[in-house]
Amino acid sequence: MRAPLLKKRNKDQRTRRNTTAGILAVCAFLAFPSVAEAGLRVCNGSVDLVNVAIGYETDEGVRTEGWWTITSNACSQILQEALTSRRYYLHVADGFSESRLGGDITLCIREEKFVLYDGDQCWQRGLIEADFFQIETEGAQDWTVLLSYD
């Protein structure tokens, strides 16, 4: 198994991104009785449309995937199967592709739909560096993340 390639940003960079974004992410665990409902669900509690990318560790390296478009006050099932990792990473962008929520994990993305492995050397690979925030699922098989503005 390859070591995860996660790069953390320094505190000043995180603070600037979080201040300009003006969004608060609240993670909420919801217990679903059915395995069919297991997975990762993201809910957009804001008045704006958001685009979401996800990152998580696999045997092949860190996988990033996007995009899911979530309209105002709606939810999207990002991962359909029971969660197997304790940590997942989310990047949230507005309809203009501007990052709306800072994080301290840097992974690679593309502007169009994508599935990528390995989160480093973005620029050298013709990719975009993006800030992701970490979600701790505490070993749960299903998890819901609520995104809302301050």
Q: Are residues 104 and 133 in contact, defined by beta-carbon separation less than 8 angstroms?
A: yes
pLDDT-derived band at 121, boundaries 50, 70, 90: confident
* Region for residue 137 given its phi and psi (left: phi exceeds 0; alpha: psi -120 to 50; beta: otherwise): alpha
Of 30, 50, 51, nearest to 40 (Cα)?
30
118 near 5, Cβ under 8 Å? yes
* This prediction's pTM: 0.76
Question: How far is it, in rounded angstroms, from Cα 128 to Cα 109?
Answer: 5
38 falls within a domain: yes
- Does residue 1 sit within a domain? no
Domain range for 123 is 7-149
pLDDT at 100: 86
Helices (H), the chain: 11-21
Q: Is 52 within a domain?
A: yes
- The answer to the question of residue 29 being in a domain is yes
Residues 19-26, mean pLDDT to the nearest whole number:
37
Q: Which residue has the higher pLDDT, 88 or 8?
A: 88
For the chain, the domain total comes to 1
Residue labelled with tokens 């990052």: 99
Is the residue at 92 inside a domain? yes
Q: Is residue 2 part of a domain?
A: no
Inside any domain, residue 16: yes
